[in-house]
Structure 1
Amino acid sequence: MLEPTGPLPPEIYWRRRVFAIGILVLALALVIWLVVMVARGGTSPGGTAATSTTTESNAPAGGSGASAASSSAESDVAPCSDQSLAVKVSVGQPTYRRGEQPVFGIVITNISAAPCSRDMGSGMQQISVQTLDGTRRLWNSVDCYPDGQPDIRTLERGQQAAFTVTWSGSTSQPNCAGERVPVPSGAYAVLAQLGGVRSTAEPFNIG
């Protein structure tokens, strides 16, 4: 019974028997492993723990031609209070010629100890140009564009959302009332605000 018989050489039949025995041993080992894992409360092969991923995206803030980079919103993150945010404004260059369009940069930083989310759309941001001494307001980004698209961002601790806004160089009034005229040459300052959080004034010149 053990001696292989047939038209082929005996070593071929032995190889087939060894291969079949190996398959049976492997299948038996797999069954034993599965029984042990189930008894220990483990997971079956291929089981993975649930994970969540937050991606960052670049999206225009709308209104005054703003663009931004920041993180996507998560439904279980607390809203950012004014106290949890810092706002900084910068000017593209210290001096612009009359007729040029100044470019302002706005950076919103989560300075709290935990992630939070906030609508940072152009309708929520306010960028203002005023005289250098602060006595006269010349332009505000929401005067003529009060309704911007929502842009809810989730910021991790210390994370920033950056925006750019291009100003036409003309004056404006609330509700876009009155005539819009180019501002004269002189020294000015720009400020940025989100809710009750305001940046420090950043000076620049129009020559």
Structure 2
Amino acid sequence: MLEPNGPLSPEIYWRRRALAIGVIIVALAIVIWLVTMVARGGDSAGADSAAASTTTSAESSAAETSSPTGSTSTTPSSASTTPSATTSAVEQPAAQPCSDQSLALKVSVGQPTYRVGDQPGFGTVITNISSAACSRDLGAGPQFLVYTLDGQRRLWASNDCNQDDPAEMKTLKAGEQLSYKGTWFGTTSQPQCAGDRLQVPAGAYMVVAQLGAVRSAAEPFNLAS
């Protein structure tokens, strides 16, 4: 290096040069350090971004594979731990049998006049006229009976030629009604379907509905020739 020239002593000039060189070296070191950190930071961000992209792609692929097509599952955000109240079933007392006095029958005729050879249609309504529910075997239902108009001769009964029907208990609430229908072929009949069945001639007749010992009022009708 050149020898220092100046009014000051050479030693002072050498110190100044050494200080300047030191400052330059420190500045270069700082610049190199900053460049290195920036370079490392860029590589790390790129690596993190690539990793995040890979993770997202993998999760998306897994989700598409495990989700059933056309099915949506909803998971409740919370579950209630409060026990539900249990209502004890109260057994209702069995209905008492319907006595004859607790039932009423009303019979009806499809039309007031039929022709001989027609099949007159009858109907009846059973009503529980008591103040409490009751039960009755109505498997065979009420029967219809046709009499001469004076009531002296029974001509036909709906259960004469019918086989015994199985028992069927029915419970009727107070005031409840049940309806039944029947058809008469216009011929005579006897219990157990004995004897011949003869065509009933033209004339005035009446029909009665009966259930056990309970009978309805008679309803008149006519057979015309």
TM-score bucket (shorter structure): 0.5 to 0.7
1:154 aligned residue (139, 146, 171) = 171
1:92 aligns with 2:131: no
1:165 aligns with 2:182: yes
Is the alpha carbon distance of 1:82 and 1:183 closer, same or farther for their aligned partners in structure 2, counting shifts above 3 Å? same
1:49-106 deviation line (CA, Å, top 9, x unaligned): 4378xxxxxxxxxxxxxxxxxxxxx981111000100011100111111111111101
1:190 aligned residue (207, 221, 224) = 207
- Structure 1: state its 5+ residue gaps: 1-22, 35-43, 53-73
> How does the TM-score come out when normalised to structure 1?
0.65
Deviation at 1:136, TM superposition (A): 0.9
User: Equivalents in 2 of 1:180, 1:82: separation in Å?
Assistant: 32
SS in 1 for 2:135: strand
Aligned-residue sequence identity (percent) comes to 57
Q: Which has the larger radius of gyration?
A: 2
User: Equivalents in 2 of 1:168, 1:114: separation in Å?
Assistant: 38
| Number of residues of Structure 1 aligned to a counterpart in Structure 2 | 149
Paired position in structure 2 for 1:48: 87
Q: What letter corresponds to residue 171 of structure 1 in structure 2?
A: T
Counting only pairs closer than 5 Å after superposition, residues 135-154 of structure 1 correspond to structure 2 as 135-154=152-171
- Structure 2: state its 5+ residue gaps: 1-76
Q: What letter corresponds to residue 188 of structure 2 in structure 1?
A: T
Paired position in structure 2 for 1:133: 150
2:195 aligned residue (178, 183, 186) = 178
1:106 aligns with 2:124: yes
CA RMSD of aligned residues (A): 2.4
Paired position in structure 2 for 1:78: 96
Q: What letter corresponds to residue 129 of structure 1 in structure 2?
A: V
